[in-house]
Structure 1
């Protein structure tokens, strides 16, 4: 057994960075998310908009991966991807997803769960226009989640796309690419506390009405 495995049971951190109380909670989940997101940015956390997205297929087999949140408001949390990817196949089939913002540097996490919908073509176009040209070309070149012969096959595909759009001032949005929005029914704000008595406050929606509940750690 490796030294790392021997040490695993003793690896622990005492969470003492802060507290989360009902009295300090914002009126809505998205306002609270904005407050914490701003604090994550000010704390210089690496990619504070990174979130772990969880989906499942029609057989209930789960998958998770890290994606980048590209917007949130009262409607939900948005990310962009290839609509032919494995995650998109799951989302089309089940119409539900969950995501976690793992702000470990602040001893916090935010968990979002709800139904999903595609964002409008206008929203997709607006975000697409902000992407670096290289990322735009990569979206055209990559058959996301499909088996490829090797990295050279990807490089060859990218070279072909670069030639295709060499004279184009603007690269158009691929028809197979766009945004998804998670429309939450459940948003939990988790703050680590000493002795594992963590603060867990959950916004829960029922019949379009939101309630706040404290969960036991």
Structure 2
């Protein structure tokens, strides 16, 4: 396959990719904007992939066109090269315009995503507050929390003592286990505190 044939094939691929991208973008602006949020986010990712493919293919075509030595080109090859360069310029300007539309759609989807995250967070906090209110109404003490704090303090004391008695604390599996258990305790206490 000669350079012109390779460039033609690449140009055809770029035009097909552009057609796919622009069709998906138009669909996203229309009816597909009404689909569920997860699908929209997937759709945005697909658009990003197609746009990246187009950009990569355009660079490859530009390289092929650059490598076509104008002094050795037939009239037909020279005409093809100029037409291809013009097509690339047109696609590049269309991509710039499409990018603006894409950004607007992405901002809308991400705004909806943020709104949904906030809704879910509010529901979770409301649930935890309801649980806490019911604990207060029934007068239940947080025995588990107090026990966990005590256990964590004991683990920390043991760790300090262990560190003093071990020569190579970096390789001591017990210290590693203590660290792990203290971290787990801290995490549980943070979850409990964050649920209030």
TM-score bracket relative to the smaller structure = under 0.3
Higher Rg: 2
> Which of the two has greater helix per residue?
2
TM-score, scaled relative to structure 1: 0.18
Considering fraction of residues, name the structure with more strand.
1
Q: With the length of structure 2 as denominator, give the TM-score of the two structures.
A: 0.20
